[in-house]
Amino acid sequence: MMVSTLFVFVSTWFLHAYQWFWLRGSFLLAWQDVSFWIMLGLLVVINSVYEAKHGRERSLTRSSLSFHRFAAVSLRTFLTFSVICVLWSLWTSESVSAWISLWTVADQSPSFTAGTIPLFFVLGVVVSGTVREIAGNNSRNARQPAAAIGGSALISLACLALLCLLGVQEMHTQFGPKVATVINSLRSGKLSRLDNAMLERGYYEQLMQVDRFNSQLWEVYMNKPLNWLDVRGTGLEKFTGDFKQKELLPSFVAITSHGPIRTNRWGMRDQDYEKQPAPGTFRVALLGASSVMGWGVQDSETFESLLEERLNRENSKGPYAKYEILNFAVPGYQPLQQVMTLENAFSFQPSAVFYVAAGREAQRCSVYLAEVIRKRIYVPYEYLREIARKARIEATMGETEAVRRLEPFGAEMLAWVYRGIVQNCRERGIVPVWVFLPTPLEDPWQEDTASLLRAAEESGFIVLNLVDVYRNHDIKALRFAEWDAHPNAQAHKLIADKLYDLLWERKKDILLSFGSGQIGQGK
């Protein structure tokens, strides 16, 4: 019996791994997966041996309900469910180190999560067990068992009818906005905030297992072509060996299935500008990541290109002879990397610096600092080295644990980045502008938008908020693809138009700081 049980579990694990290979092209061999099946198999073997040795209590008459017997059944049910939950948490973790990190913060969980949920579960076990015992006794004592079955069917039908009514919008909105929001979220099948973050992370880091045990992410990835990441362009990036890690190759053309990507002699996806601006030129240094650089759209379709063209076309009689927007964006760049990018941007003598934020800025700081430390890359800033010491981060530490320790310092690091950009710009007579550019997704960026705006304003940026740039449009039609949240050509046009309008509103703070005319002559 022991051998056959173990054989069943080994076969189940192997067939599960083979199914993964058949669907994904890679054999699933992860410690958390193997550990799950081994521990579950051993528990079943132990239980089988115990039952074979001690047997089950059999009786022709139904035993009377006692507190001792009922408490024992309830406790066994609770422990069995708890063991399954623990094993499931291991199985669905990205790695064993991530699972261990999860338990290191279990004692820091809110009291509602740590205490109330287990209490509700225990009460559920007790109530359901009591109902089961009473229903069992009634059904045995009833003269017509069919009546009990009919009553059970009526209860089920009543519950189904109640669920159907709650699913109607006109009904659940009567219970208030909070209840209506919860019910609506349960009715809709969409990626959560964490799922969207994992989807984005899977794109940037080319991870293959961000959707391991997530059915909705799996459905999204199933539609993605195998060569989708070829849009990045082979050889488009070069490694720098410093804190930035990478930058775009100068004078390079990458031919992708979505059009060519060209860089100028300075390593920007932009026109070939001179190092020094011509007299009468208002020059903008644009900092950002892949959405700013323009993944998935043609060179002339990026919002940077569209905005620059419109500024020159509609303001030929303005205070400046020419407007130039230099695109310093690099795919995957995080806020901490922009500090070094800014140093390079200053050498081009810009009149203004536009820092484009896309959400989760504080989290990105934590993730990137953990990454460079784990890669043993030298951190050139004493402030960040001090943060790493406070968080007790080491190169040998797992990614999940390192990020968890750094997260309390995320907002502080972001404020350091923002204040540094503003201070360096002001010292050089450059206008610092902060632009919020939301990702064309339903909701992953909304929760921290207010804190980002507050941090940017407190740092001294001129804030241009594009939070409503996609309003009155089908947001799904503005994404590059279902599995790729970069803005498409239509979205870039909306961004360029909205940014132009905001520049018009803040012209005195931004453009007129260096001239006496005004933009928008053709507006």
Please, which pLDDT band fits residue 207 given cuts at 50, 70 and 90? very low
20-24, 31-35, 183-187, 250-254: which is most confident = 250-254
pLDDT, tens only, 145-203: 544 455 668 888 888 888 888 777 777 677 777 777 667 666 655 555 555 555 555 54
296 vs 55, more confident: 296
Q: What is the pLDDT of residue 305?
A: 96
Q: What is the pLDDT of residue 51?
A: 83
CA distances from 445 to 30, 35, 462 (A): 32, 36, 20
Please state, in angstroms and rounded to a whole number, the distance separating the CA atoms of residues 388 and 382: 10
- β-pairing, 253-256 vs 259-262, is antiparallel
Q: What is the pLDDT of residue 233?
A: 43
Alpha helices (H) in 239-360, listed in sequence order: 290-293, 303-314, 335-346
Give pTM, 2 decimals. Answer: 0.69
**What is the number of H-type helices and E-type strands within the chain?**
20, 11
Please state, in angstroms and rounded to a whole number, the distance separating the CA atoms of residues 197 and 190: 13
CA distances from 3 to 12, 17, 39, 44, 53 (A): 14, 21, 15, 12, 16
* Ranges assigned E (strand) in 135-268: 237-239, 246-248, 253-256, 259-262
pLDDT, tens only, 368-417: 999 999 999 999 999 999 999 999 999 988 888 899 899 999 999 999 99
CA distances from 106 to 49, 100, 101, 364, 391 (A): 33, 10, 9, 23, 18
Enumerate the β-bridge partners of residue 326: 285
Q: Is residue 521 pLDDT above 50, yes or no?
A: no
Report the top-level CATH class of 234-514. Answer: alpha beta
pLDDT, tens only, 298-339: 899 999 999 999 999 988 777 888 999 999 999 989 999 999
DSSP for residue 381: -
Q: What is the pLDDT of residue 347?
A: 96
Please state, in angstroms and rounded to a whole number, the distance separating the CA atoms of residues 388 and 402: 9
| 403 burial level (CB within 10 Å; 0-12, 13-18, 19+) | buried
pLDDT, tens only, 232-291: 445 678 888 899 999 998 998 877 767 788 999 999 999 999 999 999 999 999 999 999
Please state, in angstroms and rounded to a whole number, the distance separating the CA atoms of residues 325 and 312: 11
Mean pLDDT (the chain) is: 80
Side chain identity, residue 417:
V
The token pair at 78 is 């609770």
The token pair at 523 is 């507006």
41-45, 89-93, 461-465, 469-473: which is most confident = 461-465
The token pair at 9 is 């579990």
Once rounded to an integer, what is the mean pLDDT over residues 470-496? 89
* Ranges assigned E (strand) in 459-507: 462-465, 479-481, 484-487
Residue 282: strand, helix, or coil = strand
Q: What is the pLDDT of residue 211?
A: 46
520 vs 407, more confident: 407
Domain ranges of the chain: 2-51+67-103+110-187, 193-222, 234-514
